[in-house]
Chain A
């Protein structure tokens, strides 16, 4: 029995069957555009044999939903399979049991079809008529047999997304659209640089502006509340001009400080025997990097909050509402049960954006106007300057290669800050000197928690809880090398705020591994696909590679005539989905990516169209990271603060995509949202080399870098 079912052992924790035969679903996993609500409805509909339209997935709240932690790591479908799905199976068994008792027919003579228990003679008992007071309290054993995927079941079917109609027709759909009676609008005035402190603020002039209801100044936390949104925007702009901040600690010249920094090292993998020196014909080494990357959600972070007596209610697009509640209670100095957190969708987040920070900002503003609801939205530059970035990373790989081209020894070292610093992050740490200490209660992950007068200490992103997570994710190549050593250098000095970004370390690790594989294959004159297959015996890995080989009409590495095709491959987390990508690059005035092909094996697929959508979006976002993106800064602060200074891939630059899914209905489901990032990055770098003979190892792979390297 899984831990989540031990914590929430009753059917009623997960599901309510109504007398009209509809089903209400409670889950702790939240929607952010990945389609999880639809997938959850399909899973429950499948186990209960009811139409998907009869299943309603409720909003996630701390008052009613099971605490399933953070919605992250591409784990939601996997975990639904082990929690929610088992609860639905238990409900099906309970219903069959009741029908059996009512009709005195053994359970093995009963079937479930279309929301009814069906007897041998064809008589049907609708589920709704079997509901009684006890059914919610039924204990889930964890041994309930799951319904087989059969024809007609909604599992494996491209059910349309339940959340899309509201968005297509412009109805309120996001936390940004929530409106409460008498609600005030808030904006924050953050310092010009990380950790700069507020010295002085001439608030009187702003307080007299039209519509301004309150200026909230608490330590360095500075914000304004107004009756109308445009008044709040105007007042915040003025307030910022009338405020003086001290300097923050200077930022480094570039992320390359990491290679010289003090580190904490973990050997993530080490196996195999030393090679006799005589066998080594070639020693190759290369260093790869990626910069700090922004999540860059299209909708800046937002929250709505209100106090009722000594209680807080907060609406948020956080990925982990229970953890957020704990963090809010800590900063606000109240008990957790005085805080209710309600999830509403925000724009896609791709990891820890400003959602949790905005929730605390809103709560602090609500505290200043007791009983009055407050809507707080960050402006675009707040999001760009203050969201926690995905850490920059450096990867150095060296290999000993035998005369026949076989890799004898692979040595991978990865440098980076941490990848987790959100509410609930295990082991989030304080200042560097406290790394060995207990992650104490006086630390906070939230910006304002360290800004207010009654401040907690700002935590920094923690070292990975296990060698294969965080910066170690996908650092260990999946290839069967006879000897390997993988070292993770965690860099505690974290000059800019960082936390989880989609795929954590896998993006840069796979970029480096797959680039290096390509470099070795080129040196020994091997076909890049054939060369990878030498080291892969897993038939599922081989199949995704063979599929993109066929789909892309692969004909070996192209001549260096300005157009090139090449591959990237990985198994996410080394135990998740298999993904292979072939990128088609054209180099003329700029580096263009007109096409890409992908094949994936994600085990049991609940919604093939939803999976394809995640795969396609993952390729395009990873192409954007890889070709265009980097957070820029000077010693004085962050300089990438809008879409001009932080450009992302546009419609005209996006590739046409061809994706294939290998059907594996009898394998456990594996998340896909993050699995394609690394293979895409590597396929692009390799295709640039195929097109031009120029090897780019530092992301972003820009025109300027290409010209310098050519």
Chain B
């Protein structure tokens, strides 16, 4: 049994220790917001926060995350209480198909938690681990800027 701490809930997983966290989140916990993109940690669609840091979950065995704090996009905010990143993405309609959005939202949220003021090149560099094939990059960068403004305003 592996003890997992997901979105503030402690739970035991009976999955094999080398099981990628992504499959436990999606298939055992019903948290479908983290998405399979590559299985190699190269596209970012499966990003979660591990002790606050953006981490790809498709290549992360659950044995490596026992007792560590895992936040998924479902734990970040909801329609009543959206995280500034989620609000900003909706405000700017900064997505097309949205399959990569989890990576953008989670990476952006970690960046905002770490730093207040951000230049565009810093935002771009921080988000380079996330691939958006639809090409919504420019809007997404502006959404992170807007989220930083919202966070500062205490929204």
Contact = CB atoms under 8 A, between A and B. Distances in A.
B55 interface: no
A380 B38 contact: yes
B38 A642 contact: yes
Contact of A300 (B37, B73, B131): B37
B37 A657 contact: no
Contacts of B132: 298, 651
Contacts of B123: 651
Interface residues of B, number: 61
Interface string B1-29: 00000000000000110011001001100
Contacts of B138: 616, 620, 654-657
B150 interface: no
Interface in A302-358: 345-348, 350
Interface in B90-109: 90, 93, 95-102, 105
Q: Which of B72, B73, B93, B134 has the most CB of A within 10 A?
A: B134
B135 A654 contact: yes
A17 to B, nearest CB: 28
Contact of B82 (A169, A623, A654): A169
Given A621-B134, A650-B131, A170 B32 contact: yes
A124 interface: no
Contacts of A618: 135
Contacts of B78: 169
Contact of B93 (A160, A229, A656): A160
A171 B128 contact: no
Given A33-B134, A613-B139, A168 B96 contact: no
A210 B72 CA distance: 28
B28 to A, nearest CB: 9
Interface stretch (A173-181, A438-446, A688-696, A700-708): A173-181
27 contacts: A35-B96, A160-B90, A163-B98, A164-B93, A167-B95, A168-B86, A168-B101, A169-B33, A169-B74, A169-B77, A170-B33, A170-B34, A170-B76, A174-B99, A177-B32, A177-B35, A210-B16, A230-B19, A299-B36, A613-B93, A613-B136, A616-B135, A650-B131, A651-B127, A654-B124, A655-B138, A656-B138
Q: Which of B77, B82, B137 has the most CB of A within 10 A?
A: B137
Contact of A170 (B16, B31, B140): B31
A170 B73 contact: yes
Interface in A638-677: 642-644, 648-652, 654-657
Name the prevailing secondary structure of the A interface residues. Answer: loop
A34 interface: yes
Contacts of A300: 36-37
A624 B131 CA distance: 12
A609 interface: yes
Contacts of A296: 133
A32 interface: yes
Q: Which of B34, B82, B102, B131 has the most CB of A within 10 A?
A: B131
Interface string A1-21: 000000000000000000000
A617 interface: yes
Given A33-B97, A167-B101, A620 B137 contact: yes
B40 interface: yes
Interface in A606-637: 609-610, 613-614, 616-621, 623-624
Interface string A347-374: 1101000000000000000000000000
A216 interface: no
A298 B99 contact: yes
A172 B130 CA distance: 20
B125 A652 contact: yes
